Amino acid sequence: MTTDPATDEPAAPQACTLAHPGFAVLGEPVFRMAEDGKTPSVGFDLGGRDAVLPLVAIQREFAIPDDSPDGQVLALVAEALAFVSVLRLGDPLPTEVLNGEASWEPEPRHLALAMAKLRVQLVALLTGGNDAATADPDTLLALVEDPAFRPKLQGAFNKAAQELGLPDTEAAVTLMGELAHEIAYIEALRERLLHGVDFIVAELGGRHRRWRGDTAHRETLTQVTRLALRAHKQIGDRFAELDAQTGEVLAALRNLQSHRAFLRSNRDWLYRTQRAWAPTLSAWADPAQREDFRFWGLVEATYRFLTPRFMTTKEWLRQEALARKKTGEVGMVW
C-alpha cells in the first residue's frame, strides 16, 4: 500500500488491489453481488464451472484481518458493489466510496431544473410572492427565463448575500450553484426512479379497473398493485423529505457542508434503489412487454421483484400457508 506524502500515513486504497496470494490462485476473480442482490461475493472459474462465494467467506478462509490493507480493500469493494455491477483486480473503486462524489453525472436539464427551483424558492422567501418550485419542470424553466422575474431574482440574491454575511452578490450566486449541482443528482433520480414507478403504478391501476376477466388474475393484479403502491410511498417519501429540506434554501446555503452530506447520503440511497429497479423499470417502459400476451409475465416478474422487498412478514406467511393448502407442499410461492 502506498503512503500519503503529506502525512506519511498509508494512503487510502484507490483501486481493487489485493496482495494475498489466494486471489491469484482464483485466476481472474470477479467481485459482484450474489443473485439475491444483497450479498457482496466473488466469482471465479472452478474447473470450467462458475463458482460464487460470499466475500466474507473468502476473507475468513484466507484469514485476512479487517484492519489489514487487504481487509480495508475488501470492505471498500463490498461498499462499491452497491454502485457498480462488477469489479476486477486492478479496477478503480467508484468515487462514492472514496470521496463521496458521484461516479455518474446528471443531464444538463437536471442542473437547469435544480437551479430554477432554488431561484424560485429564494425569490419567494426574500422578496415575497408564491413559491412555484413544485410546478412542473417546463413551467419552472419558463418562469426563471421571464424578463419580469430577473429583477426579483437580483434583489433576492442581494438580500441573500446580506443574510449570509457574504462579501457580494456573486458569492451568493456561486454558493447557489454549488447547492444546485448536488440537487441536480436528485432531480435526475426523480426522473429515472420516481417517475418510472409512477408509470408502473398508473399502468397497474388502469388494468385493475378495466379487468373483466377471471378472479385469479384480478387477485394477482390486486396484490402487485398493493406492493407497488407501498414501494411508491417509500420512494416518494424520500423525495418529499429532500424537497422539504431543500425548500429551506437559506438554511441550506448557510450550512452547505452538512446539507451536502445529507443530499449525498440520500443520493446514494436513491441511486442504489434505482439500480435495483432498473430491469423492472426498463421492462415496463417497453410497450411490447405490456401487450396482452406478455403482460402477465411482466406482472409476475414484477411480483417476484416486489415481494421480498415490500411484503410484510404477516403477508408472506399467509401466502406461504395458502401455498401449502393448495399444493400440500411447504415453500414460498413466487
pLDDT in tens, 84-127: 999 999 999 999 999 999 999 999 999 999 999 999 999 988 87
pLDDT-based confidence at residue 317 (cuts at 50, 70, 90): low
Average pLDDT over the chain, rounded to an integer: 87
CA distances from 149 to 120, 159, 332 (A): 9, 16, 59
The yes-or-no verdict on residue 52 having pLDDT over 70 is: yes
Q: Which of 278, 312, 298 is nearest to 221 (CA)?
A: 298
CA-derived radius of gyration, the chain = 25
For residues 229 and 197, give the distance between their C-alpha atoms in angstroms, rounded to a whole number: 9
Q: Is 88 exposed, middle or buried (0-12, 13-18, 19+ CB in 10 A)?
A: exposed
Which string of DSSP letters, residue by residue, matches 11-37?
PPP-B-----HHHHHTSS-EEEE-TTS
78, 55 Cβ separation under 8 angstroms: yes
Nine cell digits for residue 35: 443473485
9-24 tens-digit pLDDT? 556 789 999 999 988 8
- In this structure, the chain runs to a length of 334
The yes-or-no verdict on residue 155 having pLDDT over 90 is: yes
Q: Provide the 3-class DSSP secondary structure of residue 62.
A: coil
Nine cell digits for residue 138: 417546463
Average pLDDT over residues 162-175: 95
Angle at 139 between CA 138 and CA 142, to 5 degrees: 85
Range of lowest pLDDT (175-184, 294-303, 304-313)? 304-313
Q: pTM for this one?
A: 0.85
Average pLDDT over residues 127-147: 82
pLDDT-based confidence at residue 136 (cuts at 50, 70, 90): confident
pLDDT-based confidence at residue 130 (cuts at 50, 70, 90): low
For residues 294 and 288, give the distance between their C-alpha atoms in angstroms, rounded to a whole number: 8
Report domain extents, the chain.
3-94, 104-334
Give the model's pLDDT for residue 24. 83
The yes-or-no verdict on residue 276 having pLDDT over 70 is: yes
16, 93 Cβ separation under 8 angstroms: yes
The yes-or-no verdict on residue 322 having pLDDT over 60 is: no
Q: Percent of the chain, pLDDT > 70? A: 89
The yes-or-no verdict on residue 28 having pLDDT over 80 is: yes
Q: Percent of the chain, pLDDT > 90? A: 68
For residues 323 and 326, give the distance between their C-alpha atoms in angstroms, rounded to a whole number: 5
Give the model's pLDDT for residue 27. 81
Give the model's pLDDT for residue 319. 59
The yes-or-no verdict on residue 327 having pLDDT over 60 is: no
Beta carbons within 10 angstroms of residue 226's beta carbon:
15
